[in-house]
Structure 1
Amino acid sequence: MKSKGYYFVLMAFILFFTGACSEKENAAEETALHEDSQTIQVAIATDTGADKLDAASYDGAMSAYTAIYEPLVEYGPKGDIQPALAQAWELSEDGKQYTFYLREDVYFSDGSKMDSDAVLFSINRWKGKQEHDWLKTASTLQTVEKIDDYTIKLTFSEPSADILNELTAARPLRIMSPNAVEPAGDPDGEFVNAIGTGPFQIDDYLKDKETTFIPNPNYWGEKAQIEKMVWRVIPDPETRSLALQEGSIQLAGGEMSKIPYQALRTFKDDDQFKVESKPGTMNYFLVMNNGREPLQDVKVRQALNFAIDKESLANELLDKNGNAAKGLFAETVPFVNEQNSPGYAYDLDKAKELLREAGYGEDDNQLKLKLVLQTEEFPEWKQIAEMIQSDFNQAGIEVTLDSMESAAYYDNLWEKQDYDLFIYRTYADGLNPQGFLDALFTINEQGTGVGFTDPTLSEHIHEAAKALSDEDRQAAYNTVLSYMHDNAVTVPLFYPNEIVVRDAGLEGFGWGAISDHPVRWNKLKKEN
């Protein structure tokens, strides 16, 4: 038989153990609450590719590049170039040499110094690589030299006013640490880890699920206000909307995770959310495959422009979340104005008249076209395509819609070109207008243009690339854009606003420098 003392000791032990467990549980709950209050959940439509986020590559989500890596210079309103890692720069009289003066107080997230050697490493990593030849900066760069620890000089084979613009892009010209590769400092080394000077660094990565970012402790700018930022992969736009409403994410939007326009009405009417919106530099438009016989006729192309009610598209269907498009580029893009981009007003009778003149009737010889689209990145394109289909039907044009998975969609545009019409979007920010014009409308080695084949247009675009002064560039783009309007090279549709939806308790919101840097992440904080 056990003594009373034994039972007393046993009960005391149980009480002590139970109390200790309760204290641990309470502590765990407090830790979880603290982490939740210091963590922001953000939606992203596709995997970040965090394990392949080489600054000189195209392998990851562009918004992820801008959270980690910084450019030498930054894009400003209406194309004004501003200091970033380079605090100043000079251009030689012949326009072929750029001298950059680097900031002296910048460190990478691994603690290494950002200096001329690091910048030379980053440049030499993309210099001479064929995959970057679409950029003037890459295709014309001849030499890069170190003047001193914080000064570098780039010499190009020809002058181009697009050099600074291209340097602002999310990729592939941003600056990364020489320690990001093995062997360290080898421009041809194997990529190991994303190490930049930006406000965040990668802490954890689950492919196709989520990427966790933590603040860069060495960031030279304003330090982040949060402890963690988790980007959750949510491919479906409707699911993203539900996740916001349920509170499992606190922010979505921009090009990284668009919210359907129908859902925006709900968020605008709910005090628990804030909908941030501003005019962007992008345009939704129809590419016309003039390799197909009907679209070789300018009257047919003009008829397609007259047949779409763009004001109804913008104001009714898309709920005033942007503006009806006139020319290929919005007036937020440098050198674009009403004179060179007047647009086509909605005129159904004019559209029918032009079609008859081109030999197409509503019954005996109806024009039939295939329109390709995708909705993974741009959910509103389904609605837009259906409205276009309806408008064209009223003009006597039969349109078949072909919605593709994202990868097949891009392959169709750049390789197969199996379409008559193709919903696409211009680039944004610094790659407009010249970068986009070069990519889609200049004649390639195969003798065709990706978005339209016209040797005269191609030559005008090449001439525009050579202009250096603002006056000469304006004159050159007047020629290019007026020619595109007169020949109805595209069907401009809609200039979308940049839109971000956030939980009202998420404070400190500020727009990033470019569309691929939608939010100043380091300024965000949760309401206490």
Structure 2
Amino acid sequence: MKLIAKLMGAAAVLAVSMNAAMSARTDLVVGVVLEPPHLDPTAGAAAAIDEIVYANLFEGLTRIGPNGEVQPALAANWTVSGDGKSYTFKLRENVKFHDGTQLDAEDVKFSLERAMAESSTNAQKGLFEAIQSIETIDPATVTVNLKHPQGSFLYNMGWGDAVIVAPESAETNKEKPIGTGPFKFGNWAKGSSVTLTRFDDYWGDDVALEEVEFRFIPDAAAAVPALLSGDVHAFPNAQVGDALGQIQADPRFEVVIGATEGETILAMNNGKEPFSNLKVRQAISHALNRDEIILGASSGNGVPIGSHFSPANDAFVDLTDLYPHDTEKAKELLAEAGYEDGFKATLKLPPPAYARQGGEIIASQLREIGIDLEIIPVEWAQWLEQVFTNKDYDLTIVSHTEPNDINIYARDDYYFAYDNEAFDAVIEELDQTADPEKRKELYAQAQRIIADDAVNGFLFQLPKTGVWDAKLNGMWENQPIQANDVTGVSWED
């Protein structure tokens, strides 16, 4: 009997051990292409910031869901005044920042006024231009008064640039971010990865993962072996090149081709010759063969665009036929512009594969019409400084992943250096219009103006090539906002 008891006891211990071993894992390694310059989404334009911290670490009054819908976040609900100019937000109860301080209406007021301030370094100050004032009614209630009704206001408050921060930690969020999300900052191994850990005092539903590491893997040469070996569990935007077919055939992985908000463009510096000349820009647009570019830069998965607008949006207008690929027409336009013998220019390319690979193809295409490009590879920090901030460039290739961002063409000091009063007037009217059908009409007008002006070479909508372990649940199929939201991700048991 003693022997039987011992055997039963041993079996029970073995069963417990096996159940523990078979329980769902709680760690996740996510591969991302670019290392962010810092970790404060309210103080920088780099999408790489939001791709780590949006919804995971920082939250706003609202948030953008996986299908692009506006959802409640730190605001449990809200009411809108009859004239559409005042939004009163009721904040959720018992929300804590990661340092233990309590969220209240004063933090909301501070965050919005900080973003609006003349000295603000927020990359999307236009999101807050309609705000007249912010009133704290009580610790859990805040009213935002607008200068005029704004149909996109709740959507704007869901951007990463509009997350709520605390005055006690706002100035140190670049290196040690403190938010209200279900994950808190763990570690930043510069040049390698950022690690987030579960925040146990989170106000909302518990997340399944205890630790998430965002590992920086800029190219296919490193991404493919990391994936195949299991060192990385998921690539929300996989850069795996020709290996995609091999991975799709491997039952260990799930491959999902979704959509992003990333308008991929050949940006032109409209503020300097010869790109200030409309006919030169039109010639370049005619010289571009989108089919070749899409095949080489996005494995054929990009969707062609003819203006700065996502094909997934119901206000999209297909303008891809405005400047069809026509080398002879391009040469004629160059000659009319006074550049019959062509000219030389530079093409600055940031690290993503779509830029580096697409740049080689575009340089070859423009060479056919006499434009000789010097390709200059730059790191992301260099691109932000030289191109985005200082406008020190001729041509560049980049994906603009902010949602519904056609309004950037109305900004006075934006790096395109584009200026069109008619376009500015459309955007101003759009900002003050709430009626969905009227907004759709205005979006169409805006698309046509910048397409007619050939402001940039409009190439394709960046596809979201998601590759992850087949046992993972909750990864986003599409990317309606520049984020890798892992708050709903879990492993199968």
TM-score by length of 2: 0.83
Q: Which residue of 2 aligns with 1:241?
A: 224
Q: 2:462 aligns with which of 496, 506, 510?
A: 496
CA–CA distance in structure 2, aligned partners of residues 231 and 111 of structure 1: 25
CA–CA distance in structure 1, aligned partners of residues 424 and 483 of structure 2: 31
The 5 A counterparts of 1:304-343 are 304-315=284-295, 318-333=298-313, 335-338=315-318, 343=322
Is residue 243–residue 249 contact of structure 1 (8 Å, CA) maintained in 2?
yes
| 1:331 match: secondary structure | coil
CA–CA distance in structure 2, aligned partners of residues 200 and 249 of structure 1: 19
Check if 1:355 corresponds to 2:324: no
Q: 2:406 aligns with which of 430, 433, 447?
A: 433
Q: 2:244 aligns with which of 264, 267, 270?
A: 264
Task: Give 1:296 deviation, angstroms.
Answer: 3.1
CA–CA distance in structure 1, aligned partners of residues 339 and 269 of structure 2: 18
Is residue 342–residue 369 contact of structure 2 (8 Å, CA) maintained in 1?
no
Q: Which residue of 1 aligns with 2:378?
A: 404
Report how many residues are paired.
Answer: 473
Q: Which residue of 2 aligns with 1:73?
A: 62
Q: 2:142 aligns with which of 152, 170, 173?
A: 152
More helix by share: 1
Q: Deviations over 1:282-331 (max 9, x none)?
A: 11111222333332332222221121111232246532222122222122
Q: Deviations over 1:358-412 (max 9, x none)?
A: 3443xxx22333222112xx12212111111222223333222222222222222
Q: Which residue of 2 aligns with 1:372?
A: 348
Q: Which residue of 1 aligns with 2:387?
A: 413
CA–CA distance in structure 1, aligned partners of residues 173 and 187 of structure 2: 20
Q: Deviations over 1:32-71 (max 9, x none)?
A: 979994322222345567xx74564449822232111112
Is residue 303–residue 355 contact of structure 1 (8 Å, CA) maintained in 2?
yes
Q: Which residue of 2 aligns with 1:232?
A: 215
Task: Give 1:333 deviation, angstroms.
Answer: 3.9
Q: Which residue of 1 aligns with 2:449?
A: 483
| 2:367 match: secondary structure | helix
Q: Deviations over 1:177-221 (max 9, x none)?
A: 56x53xxxxx78999954433221223443443333222223344
Check if 1:453 corresponds to 2:411: no
| 2:487 match: secondary structure | helix
CA–CA distance in structure 1, aligned partners of residues 297 and 36 of structure 2: 31
Task: Give 1:495 deviation, angstroms.
Answer: 0.8
| 1:130 match: secondary structure | coil
Q: Structure 1 stretch 343-352 or stretch 72-81: which is displaced more? A: 72-81
Evaluate the alpha carbon distance shift between residue 343 and residue 195 of structure 1 in structure 2; reply closer, same or farther with a 3 A threshold.
same
Q: Letter of the 2:79 partner, please give it.
A: E
Is residue 175–residue 196 contact of structure 1 (8 Å, CA) maintained in 2?
yes
Is residue 214–residue 228 contact of structure 1 (8 Å, CA) maintained in 2?
yes
Evaluate the alpha carbon distance shift between residue 218 and residue 513 of structure 1 in structure 2; reply closer, same or farther with a 3 A threshold.
farther
Query: Which structure ranks higher in relative contact order (CA pairs < 8 Å, sequence separation ≥ 6)?
Result: 2
Is residue 48–residue 211 contact of structure 1 (8 Å, CA) maintained in 2?
no
CA–CA distance in structure 2, aligned partners of residues 190 and 253 of structure 1: 25
TM-score by length of 1: 0.78
Evaluate the alpha carbon distance shift between residue 396 and residue 162 of structure 1 in structure 2; reply closer, same or farther with a 3 A threshold.
same
Evaluate the alpha carbon distance shift between residue 92 and residue 463 of structure 1 in structure 2; reply closer, same or farther with a 3 A threshold.
same
Evaluate the alpha carbon distance shift between residue 481 and residue 127 of structure 1 in structure 2; reply closer, same or farther with a 3 A threshold.
closer
Larger of the two Rg values belongs to structure? 1
Is residue 329–residue 426 contact of structure 1 (8 Å, CA) maintained in 2?
no
Q: Letter of the 1:393 partner, please give it.
A: R
- Cα RMSD of the aligned pairs, angstroms, is 3.5
Task: Give 1:154 deviation, angstroms.
Answer: 1.0
Task: Give 1:496 deviation, angstroms.
Answer: 1.2
Identical aligned residues as a percent: 27
Check if 1:90 corresponds to 2:67: no
Q: Which residue of 2 aligns with 1:14?
A: none
Q: Deviations over 1:144-175 (max 9, x none)?
A: 2222343210123444434323211123x212
Gaps of 5+ in 1: 1-28, 182-186
Q: Which residue of 2 aligns with 1:64?
A: 52
Is residue 84–residue 150 contact of structure 2 (8 Å, CA) maintained in 1?
yes
Q: Which residue of 1 aligns with 2:108?
A: 119
Evaluate the alpha carbon distance shift between residue 290 and residue 69 of structure 1 in structure 2; reply closer, same or farther with a 3 A threshold.
closer
